[in-house]
């Protein structure tokens, strides 16, 4: 099984560096000759230089992935911080994706770290300029050969490359074969048709509708919630917030839209919103132009055009979701099933034969995800029509065992997708968000903010509450309300082991309740309580903790908070939140029944 996953790229965006990566595979290309004639001298050791030189001279058409990407290496005897800027060059693409020599006067500036080099190889694989076999050996494709040998564009600076007309033509062909890029163009075209030629789509609105929306790897902030939180940031923090606070799907949207902009298919503008009398903006908003519309017609086979063949790979069909090997395989065979027959019954039978059918709700969720991935699929209830031509991609042989298939979270999600007919599958993915443990502190902060925002979004979208995602120091994560009935002070906790509701969190909630009751100017300084409607009495306030699950003496914490504050509250797990939301959305419950469920215990629908 291929160990490398590609298909979703965040950071690489320089077509000049991409071209150098692909030219490594073409003997006597400009960058191949650069390597042979001096670039390899930047490799940190003579032994490693000779290994790579021998590889290029003997067979540069098939190169092991690790020799391309390089590795984390530091100077011999180095005692400083083991950070990316301090790495030495070890692989070919660490040189190719570094700064061009003509813009660098210091030797260390002309190569990059192994993370960045790996991302550039992934980008070339994603656009089908390169391909990788089951032994992780990389080679060039026909379209990659055309790109590598096309007339060169021009470097404007070490970070800016203007592609030539010929390069742009090849890149456009690659993009209309890449389903997520087609999806971005389609969303922009639909927005133009609905809202006019001046209408913009932010990376957040695109991210909400891109890929397998909602699951880890495809998280997205609500645009409205993001702007609300931005408006509450100190002026000195707004720039960092705009740069760093985004979901993974928002990053995919930003990256893809930036590529499309560089080849002239979309334009980029700032999107402004007036929030609390302040002008707020994001720099990442887009609209399609005429060239983009023509490219979309080619992609979809409109009018005189035959649809472009879409290039996909098994690894593109899930990223960070739990049990991703199984999920990728289920979705891959779903594509094969739709290619085989448009009948929903035949598709079910095809999957069931392979131990992959988990219910109609899961199947419909996967189909919706494949549409958001960028495949031209028409879902007509009992028929599913695939309008695209797709490459004959390979699915690894796996044994679909219960252990592989029935991970706990996957089992819960599959059950909910089959039962909650009124909910978007993207919102059911909050199950994974609630249990996610991030590898770094900064990533954990963003993931926690995503969980807060998604919780507020679900309660507004399905239960019909008003309110805002707040978050930040001295503020609850949100305040939601039904104007004539009740308000909710919301605190969310994304814990990988369940939430114990410790004394610190109880004290924080008590502070929020005191702020909401007293409404004293200047306390706290952010005066978050001004969101509470003036007609709402203190008796109408409630508190709610939301988590994946609760552990320890959490019930005692809920009761203690009730006794000390004099208001009612509850502990609400995300599965129950989803079931509650579905009941209200379907009309089985009224939102006015919600206060009765907040009875100072765990919220139950039984």
Q: What is the pLDDT of residues 278-325, one digit of tens each?
A: 899 999 999 999 999 999 999 998 877 777 899 999 999 999 887 888
Question: Given CA atoms 127, 370, 211, 181 in this order, what sign does their dihedral have?
Answer: positive
Asked if the model's pLDDT at residue 397 lies above 80, the reply is: yes
Q: What local confidence, expressed as pLDDT, does residue 2 receive?
A: 45
491 is catalytic: yes
Candidates 322, 328, 335; CA nearest to 392 is 335
Three-state DSSP class for 262?
Answer: helix
Element containing residue 291 per DSSP (H, E): helix 290-300
pLDDT value, residue 4: 66
Is a pLDDT exceeding 80 seen at residue 5? no
Structure-token pair, residue 565: 């504050």
Residue 381 has pLDDT above 80, yes or no: no
Give residue for tokens 């969101």: 531
Inter-residue contact 278 to 228 (CB < 8 Å): no
**Pair 448, 433: CB distance under 8 Å:** no
For the chain, what are the domain ranges?
A: 15-159, 179-310, 317-372+395-426, 430-602
- The pLDDT score that the predictor gives to residue 228 is 87
Cα separation of 345 and 349, whole Å? 6
**266 within 8 A of 307, measured Cβ to Cβ:** no
Q: What CATH number should be reported for the domain whose range is 15-159?
A: 3.90.241.10
Contact 244, 221 (CB under 8 A): no
Marked catalytic residue, from 491, 515, 573, 582:
491
502: tokens are 């410790």
Distances (CA, A) of 328 to 331, 336, 356, 393, 573: 5, 12, 11, 12, 28
Q: For residue 256, give the nearest of 171, 197, 139, 317 by alpha carbon.
A: 171
**Count helices and strands in the chain by DSSP H and E runs:** 26, 18
pLDDT, tens digit, 9 for 90 and up, residues 163-211 = 999 999 999 999 999 999 999 999 999 999 999 989 999 999 999 999 9
Cα-atom radius of gyration of the chain, to the nearest Å? 26
Structure tokens at 49: 């230089």
CB 285 within 8 A of CB 271: yes
Topology at the third CATH level for domain 179-310: FokI Restriction Endonuclease; Chain A, domain 1 (3.90.241)
- List own/partner pairs for 133-138 with CB under 8 A and 24 or more apart: 133/2, 134/1, 134/2, 136/2, 136/3, 136/4, 136/64, 136/65, 136/66, 137/62, 137/63, 137/64, 137/65, 138/25, 138/62, 138/63, 138/64, 138/65, 138/68
The band of 498, judged by pLDDT with boundaries at 50, 70 and 90, is: confident
Comparing CA positions, the residue from 186, 183, 191, 185 lying closest to residue 213 is 183
What pLDDT, on the 0 to 100 scale, is given for residue 380?
A: 87
pLDDT tens track for 560-588: 999 999 999 999 999 999 999 999 999 99
pTM: predicted TM-score of the whole model, two decimal places: 0.88
Equal CATH topology for 179-310 and 430-602: no
Task: Name the 3-class secondary structure at 523.
Answer: coil
- In sequence order, which residues have a C-beta less than 8 Å from that of residue 484 and are 6 or more positions away? 535
Q: Which of 88-97, 287-296, 396-405 has the lowest mean pLDDT?
A: 396-405
Write the DSSP string, 137-190. Answer: EEEE-HHHHHHHHSPP-EEEETTEEE--HHHHHHHHHHHTTSHHHHHHHHHHHH
Closest CA to 343 of 388, 387, 380: 380
Please, what is the average pLDDT of the chain? 91
In the set 122, 427, 447, 477, the catalytic residue is 477
Instruction: Kindly report the CATH class assigned to 430-602.
Output: alpha beta
Catalytic residue among 310, 454, 493, 583: 493
Q: Which residues, including other chains, have CB under 8 Å from residue 469's CB and lie 6 or more apart?
A: 222, 225, 228, 229, 452, 453, 456, 457, 477, 478
Indicate if 493 belongs to the active site. yes
């Amino acid at each position: 099984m291929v160990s490398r996953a590609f298909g979703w790229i965040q950071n690489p965006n320089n077509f000049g560096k991409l071209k150098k990566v692909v030219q490594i595979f073409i003997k006597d290309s400009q960058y191949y000759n650069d390597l042979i004639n001096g670039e390899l001298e930047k490799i940190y050791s003579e032994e490693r230089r000779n290994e790579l030189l021998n590889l290029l001279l003997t067979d540069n058409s098939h190169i092991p992935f690790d020799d391309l990407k390089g590795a984390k290496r530091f100077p011999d005897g180095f005692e400083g911080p083991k950070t990316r800027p301090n790495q030495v060059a070890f692989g070919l693409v660490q040189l190719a994706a570094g700064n061009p020599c003509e813009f660098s006067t210091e030797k260390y500036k002309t190569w990059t770290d192994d993370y960045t080099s790996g991302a550039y190889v992934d980008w070339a694989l994603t656009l089908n300029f390169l391909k990788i076999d089951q032994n992780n050996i990389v080679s060039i494709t026909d379209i990659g050969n055309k790109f590598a040998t096309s007339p060169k564009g021009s470097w404007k600076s070490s970070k800016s490359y203007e592609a030539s007309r010929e390069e742009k033509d090849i890149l456009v062909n690659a993009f209309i074969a890449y389903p997520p890029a087609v999806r971005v163009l389609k969303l922009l075209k639909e927005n133009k048709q609905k809202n006019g030629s001046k209408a913009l789509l932010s990376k957040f609105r695109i991210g909400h509708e891109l890929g397998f929306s909602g699951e880890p790897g495809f998280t997205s902030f609500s645009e409205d919630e993001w702007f609300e939180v931005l408006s509450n940031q100190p002026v000195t923090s707004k720039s960092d917030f705009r740069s760093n606070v985004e979901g993974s799907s928002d990053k995919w949207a930003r990256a893809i839209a930036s590529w499309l902009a560089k080849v002239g298919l979309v334009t980029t503008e700032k999107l402004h919103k007036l929030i609390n009398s302040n002008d707020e903006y994001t720099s990442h908003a887009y609209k399609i132009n005429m060239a983009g519309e023509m490219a979309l017609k080619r992609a979809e086979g409109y009018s005189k055009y035959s649809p472009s063949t879409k290039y996909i790979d098994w690894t593109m069909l899930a990223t960070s979701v739990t049990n991703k090997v199984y999920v990728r395989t289920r979705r891959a065979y779903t594509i094969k099933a739709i290619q085989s027959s448009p009948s929903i019954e035949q598709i079910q039978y095809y999957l069931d034969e392979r131990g992959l059918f988990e219910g109609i709700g899961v199947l419909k969720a996967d189909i919706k995800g494949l549409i958001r991935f960028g495949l031209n699929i028409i879902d007509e209830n009992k028929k599913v029509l695939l309008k695209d031509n797709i490459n004959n991609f390979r699915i690894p042989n796996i044994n679909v065992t219960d252990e592989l298939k029935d991970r706990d979270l996957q089992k819960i999600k599959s059950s909910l997708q089959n039962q909650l007919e009124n909910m978007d599958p993207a919102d059911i993915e909050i199950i994974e968000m609630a249990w996610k443990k991030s590898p770094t502190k900064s990533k954990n902060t963003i993931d926690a903010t995503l969980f807060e925002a998604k919780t507020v979004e679900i309660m507004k979208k399905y239960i019909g509450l008003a309110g805002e995602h707040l978050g930040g120091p001295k503020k609850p994560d949100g305040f939601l309300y039904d104007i004539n009935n009740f308000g909710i002070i919301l605190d969310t906790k994304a814990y990988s082991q369940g939430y114990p509701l410790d004394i610190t969190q109880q004290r924080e909630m008590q502070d929020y309740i005191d702020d909401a009751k007293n409404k004293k100017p200047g306390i706290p300084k952010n005066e978050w309580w001004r969101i509470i409607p003036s007609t709402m009495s203190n008796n109408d306030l409630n508190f709610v903790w939301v988590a994946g699950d609760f552990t320890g003496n959490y019930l005692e914490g809920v009761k203690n908070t009730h006794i000390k504050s004099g208001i009612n509250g509850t502990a609400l797990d995300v599965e129950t939140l989803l079931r509650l939301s579905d009941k209200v959305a379907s009309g089985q419950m009224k939102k006015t029944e919600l206060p009765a469920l907040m009875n100072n215990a765990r919220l139950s629908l039984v």
